[in-house]
Amino acid sequence: MFGLCKKSEGVFKYEYRRQLLASMCITITSFCHGFAFGWLSVILAKLQSPTETELDFVINVEESSWFGGMSSLGGVCGNIVYGGLVDLIGRKASNYCLAVPYIVSWILIYFASSVEYLYVGRFLAGVTGGGTYVIIPIFIGEIAEPKIRGRLISLFSLTLYSGTLCGYIITAHIRYHLIPIVGVVIPLIFVIFQIFFPETPMFLLQRGRDERAKESLKFYRNYKPTTKESATEFEEAFEKLKSDVTSHQANANSVTWHDFCNKRAVIAFGNGLVLMWLNVFCGSYALLYYTSSIFVAARTELHPDTNTIIVGLVQVIGVYTATILVDRFGRRPLLIFSCAATGVGMAIFGLYGYLLTNTSVDLSSVSAWLPLVNVCLIMFVINSGLIPIPFVLLVELMPPKIRAKAAAVCLVLFNIIGFLLMKMFPITLMAFGLYLPMWFFALTSFLGLIYVVVFIKETNGMSLNKIEA
């Protein structure tokens, strides 16, 4: 299978193929996380309706606001717990552990007899989600070569939104108690597939397992010695990797507060915090979690579930576009385009919401199509830049000595502000309508545009060591 089409280019190039397959395997966990996203977006409206809910209780707006919030709180715990496990037991074993809280979450959702079951289920799903944001970028970053690293890390977002789309479709069309069964089966597929992929070479070198590390590097580089020169090149590459790991370990063992306070670290850490803030407050996760509720507020003629599925498809196309372009055109151009276009789209959607609720302007001629088209365009441009690129840059911009700790802090902030947004958005939507939150998202996007232009540097095609320099 790996011997076919040896002259293929890009991520399908012969020597990259196992890196691609391993990345596809590990991102099944992000597909699971996305599936839970999609389920939540569609099920919320059903659980609030006495005629549509299949449970013995109905939830109100205040209770629904905790659904997204509990997921973000779980994400904070996942960042912390798996941030420790990833260096303690390894990348591969940590990823296996992601399946446990996820499966338990669906069991609780299946047997839910009160809203508290759903809260705990969402919290545990968030723990898995928080862990994926820690483990997947590290795993892929350590097995991928610089030329394709951006595209492979972008698979995280691609599978996340593919899972979201599947969650939208399945939740809209099958009964409540069948969905958790699907949710439990998906991670079991991952558990089976990951058996065939070794631990990352960098982690094995950190543990002093040099021979296993060499075999792992051979596997991921798809290395088969054909000449004495190629064997020498591989040995040189392995020794360089070993030297880098030894150097980084020596630095990591002596991390002090000064390492977080020097100019290079402060700039990188500040960029990471701003990128996480921008990732949340551009409106991406509000649209993701509460898609059906937003279309209800927009008073569209199509059924909200139909609109949601269409938007989910556009999300996947947007992330796929970023996956293709991120290593071709670079990180900065995609971020700049995404910030500018998102700001314009959110401003237009906010204007529509203001005219809808605060004036007597007749919008019946555009209400059938404008909200759907506008949200689709917003989600396309967000997912082609603002969603995937910050997580690529989070790995690339941090100095190696503080990379793990600084990235973990940024991800904790990401989930804390995600909690605030998820908790307040449905309440704000109910109180003010569409215009206030949409204009806030537009303002954030325009401010982010200025920040990216001024402060974010290009990292495309550079090794992690060269970026540090």
Q: What is the CATH classification number for the domain harbouring 296?
A: 1.20.1250.20
Q: Same domain, yes or no, for 293 and 210?
A: no
Question: Among 252, 287, 315, where does a domain finish?
Answer: 252
Q: How many CB atoms lie within 10 A of CB 433?
A: 18
Residue 4 lies in a domain: no
266 and 129 inside one domain:
yes
Higher pLDDT, 468 or 270: 270
Residue 2 has a pLDDT of 34
Q: Looking at the predicted structure, is the pLDDT value of residue 4 above 50?
A: no
Provide the domain count of the chain. Answer: 2
Q: Please, which pLDDT band fits residue 1 given cuts at 50, 70 and 90?
A: very low
Q: Is the pLDDT of residue 365 over 60?
A: yes
Question: Among residues 244, 225, 245, which one has the least CA distance to residue 235?
Answer: 225
Q: Are residues 284 and 430 in the same domain?
A: yes
Same domain, 288 and 374: yes
260 close to 12: Cβ distance less than 8 angstroms: no
Give the domain range for residue 248: 204-252
Q: Is residue 450, in this structure, part of any structural domain at all?
A: yes
User: Is 39 domain-assigned?
Assistant: yes
What are 331's two structure tokens? 């990180």
Q: Is residue 377 part of a domain?
A: yes
Greater model confidence, 317 or 252: 317
| CA triple 282-140-220, angle to 5 deg | 160
Give the pLDDT score at 3: 39
At residue 347, the pLDDT reads 96
- What phi, psi does 114 have (nearest 5°)? -155, 170
* Co-location of 213 and 126 in the same domain: no
Q: Which of 35-49, 105-119, 326-340, 398-412 has the lowest mean pLDDT?
A: 398-412
In a domain, 3, yes or no: no
| Residues 129 and 66 both lie in one domain | yes
Q: Is the pLDDT of residue 462 over 60?
A: no
DSSP one-letter code for 276: H
Q: What is the mean pLDDT of the chain?
A: 84
Helices 61-88 & 403-432, crossing angle to 10 degrees?
170
Is the pLDDT at 62 greater than 60, yes or no? yes
Same domain, 217 and 334: no
Is residue 2 a part of any domain in this protein?
A: no
121 with 243, same domain? no
**Does 280 reside within a domain?**
yes
For every residue of 289-356, DSSP letters joined together read: HTHHHHHHHHT-SS-HHHHHHHHHHHHHHHHHHHHHHTTTT-HHHHHHHHHHHHHHHHHHHHHHHHHH
Range with the lowest mean pLDDT among 90-99, 152-161, 372-381? 152-161
- Same domain, yes or no, for 247 and 337? no
299: left (phi over 0), alpha (psi -120 to 50) or beta: left
Residue ending a domain, among 252, 287, 317, is 252
Same domain, 165 and 300: yes
| C-alpha neighbours within 13 Å on the C-beta side of residue 213 | 21
Q: Is the pLDDT of residue 395 over 60?
A: yes
Segment 91-107 shows an average pLDDT of 93
| Residues 226, 85 share a domain | no
pLDDT of residue 6: 46
Give yes or no: residues 246 and 268 share one domain: no
Asked if residue 12 has pLDDT above 80, the reply is: no
The whole-angstrom separation of Cα 375 and Cα 253 is 48
Average pLDDT value for residue range 114-142: 91
R_g (Cα) of the chain, nearest Å = 22
For residue 451, the one-letter residue type is Y
pLDDT at 8 over 50: no
Whether 1 is in a domain gets the answer no
